Amino acid sequence: MTQPDILLIAPPLLWEGESRPEMKQPLNLLYLASWLNRQGLQAQVLDAALASLSLGEALQAVEAFRPRFIGVPFYQATRETVLQLCRAIRARFPEIWLVAGGPLVTTSPESLLGFTDVDICVIGEGEVTLEEILRSNLPSPRTDDSDCSCLSTIPGLGFVDGKSSVITPLRPPIDDLDSIPFVDFELIDIQRYFAYHASIEMSNWLFLTTSRGCHARCTFCATPVLWPDGMRRQSVPRLLAEITYQRKLYPSSQFGFMDDSFFSDKAWLREFFEGISSMKVKYCCIGRADHLCEEDVIGLAHSGCIYVALGIETGNQARQRTIGKHLDLNRVRASIRLLAEYDIFSKGFFMLGFPDETPEEMLETINFAVELKNLGMGEFNFFPVSIYPGTELAARCAKTACVSTVYQQSAKPGSQDGKVDQSASDIAETKLMRYANIPDADINDYFSATQILNIVKFAYRQAESGQPVTLEALTTAAQISPQQAL
């Protein structure tokens, strides 16, 4: 096996514990690796998440690759999981440079520079910065007293030089997204993803992004910190060229576009509809419900869109303004009706437990989701509010609020020794296991973190039932234990 310059590791949510199959490929790492390989460097991706590797098995893979650098992504919920990996790599392979990237590094690099197991933090977009790190004069093999001064001229970095933390000036984002290479899905075991898709009765799906950033400035979202200059898009011809390329390699594949706001640029959207309509491709996308009009929905339906995900967050109109989302809830209702009319499956994302959110507001959100179900929305995701470092919401909260952990399923009645009865089925547990981060601290003024979690589970069951609920039912659900709630 050729020694790569860098091994990018996609970690599982938890090293030890239940397996949580991932439907989406590790897209951020694949974009980085595809860029580096096109520039003549050698990058590999270790998809430890899909393979459900234990920490020991991940270390065995590192032993086989023996790269000069290892890159790891930091997300809030998996912070401890990745730090555990970094500690293990540093102990066993002290000669390998450890590079950290991901949202948590950009929003709060100082929180990671204090860990001696992390050598370099990449702040902002990573393609060019990572390339310059790999081409730098950092000594190899690494030692504890290696000279890092050559990094000081590279924008977008945080590192420790001697005993001093150094953060270099920010690097401007890539201006022309058409310059980014096509994703090389052969860097991972793509057939294993397709097998998992088949096991849940899905077609083969490949995931791409067509843009970076978002024009909205929601107070709870890290996107304004990650991409402060708004949104950039690939051109439609560039996107269609990649779809054509990937379909030649994977003829049965469909496409999921992971952009924050797919519908915002109407001229781009019309050009996309015109170009993709003749390609006989099925696709899904994410956007704002108030960006859709009937012409857009017709275009989606006629061009192959089968699934739209919508960030709604709250069913209280005043709260929409407070969180900076500014959705018109009447337009949300209209969009759900249109999507259902044109046979496009829709999913809504909702949040419960903002710091000053009242029980009455939470009730409005749950009942709004129920209303949308009755208007044709097909699926719901409810999340406990998590406070992400660097966001406007985080600035109003104590630092202790910015800690979340991966949700772990509670033991069900009848289980023995606290072990989970996997044969039992519950929509709330299933959804939370797949998606949720759980705040460690009590964030909301009215309910504890445990009570908010109970309300989230309650919301899932009520939305699924399609029946509106009362405030008394909500407060009762908040007080009971997770076991009783099942």
The C-alpha atoms of residue 358 and residue 233 are separated, in whole angstroms, by: 38
More confident residue, 483 or 381: 381
Tally Cβ neighbours within 10 Å of residue 288. 23
DSSP string, 337-402: HHHHHTT-EEEEEEEE--TT--HHHHHHHHHHHHHHHHHT--EEEEEE----TTSTTGGGS-GGGS
Of the candidate ranges 7-21, 188-202, 229-243, the one whose mean pLDDT is the lowest: 7-21
291 close to 339: Cβ distance less than 8 angstroms: no
Reference 377, options 289, 262, 285; nearest CA is 289
Amino acid 411: pLDDT: 39
For residue 164 the two structure tokens come to 């001093």
Of the candidate ranges 195-204, 281-290, 378-387, the one whose mean pLDDT is the lowest: 195-204
The pair phi, psi for residue 206, each rounded to 5°, is: -115, 140
Reference 312, options 356, 391, 370; nearest CA is 370
pLDDT band at 421 (very low <50, low <70, confident <90, very high): very low
Entry field: residues in the chain: 486
Q: Is 228 left (phi over 0), alpha (psi -120 to 50) or beta?
A: alpha
For the chain, give the percent of residues with pLDDT over 90: 76
12 close to 81: Cβ distance less than 8 angstroms: yes
| Cα distance from N-terminal residue to C-terminal residue, the chain | 50
| pLDDT above 80: residue 78 | yes
Residue 317: burial class (beta carbons within 10 Å; 0-12, 13-18, 19+):
middle
203-408+424-485 CATH fold: TIM Barrel (3.20.20)
Amino acid 106: pLDDT: 93
Average pLDDT of the chain is: 91
Amino acid 416: pLDDT: 38
| pLDDT above 80: residue 471 | yes
SS3 label, residue 44: strand
**pLDDT mean over 395-415:** 73
Rg over CA atoms, the chain: 23
The amino acid present at 465, given as its one-letter code, is: S
Reference 263, options 197, 191, 344; nearest CA is 344
Place of tokens 């790569």: 4
Tally Cβ neighbours within 10 Å of residue 6. 26
Amino acid 481: pLDDT: 45
Helix axes 471-479, 359-375, angle to 10 degrees: 110
The pair phi, psi for residue 57, each rounded to 5°, is: -70, -35
Q: Where are the domains of the chain?
A: 6-160, 203-408+424-485
The C-alpha atoms of residue 167 and residue 152 are separated, in whole angstroms, by: 8
The C-alpha atoms of residue 292 and residue 318 are separated, in whole angstroms, by: 21
Amino acid 480: pLDDT: 59
Alpha-carbon torsion, ordered 382, 105, 95, 186, to 10 deg:
50
The C-alpha atoms of residue 7 and residue 333 are separated, in whole angstroms, by: 46
The amino acid present at 14, given as its one-letter code, is: L
The C-alpha atoms of residue 447 and residue 203 are separated, in whole angstroms, by: 41
State whether CATH 3.40.1280.10 applies to domain 6-160.
no
SS3 label, residue 431: helix
Task: Write 186-195 long-range contacts (CB < 8 A, 24+).
Answer: 187/30, 187/33, 187/34, 187/43, 187/44, 187/45, 188/25, 188/26, 188/30, 188/45, 188/47, 188/50, 189/47, 189/50, 189/51, 190/25, 190/250, 192/50, 192/51, 193/23, 193/25, 193/50, 194/250
**pLDDT mean over 37-65:** 95
| pLDDT above 70: residue 486 | no
| pLDDT above 50: residue 418 | no
Q: Any residues with CB less than 8 A from the CB of 332 and at least 6 apart, and which? A: 289, 290, 310, 312, 372
Amino acid 129: pLDDT: 97
**pLDDT mean over 283-290:** 96
| pLDDT above 70: residue 413 | no
Alpha-carbon torsion, ordered 93, 98, 103, 106, to 10 deg:
150
| pLDDT above 70: residue 482 | no
The C-alpha atoms of residue 85 and residue 72 are separated, in whole angstroms, by: 9
For residue 210 the two structure tokens come to 């067509």
Whole-Å CA distances, 308 to 102, 196, 259, 282, 304? 26, 21, 12, 12, 11
pLDDT band at 479 (very low <50, low <70, confident <90, very high): confident
For the stretch 335-352, pLDDT in tens is 999 999 999 999 999 999
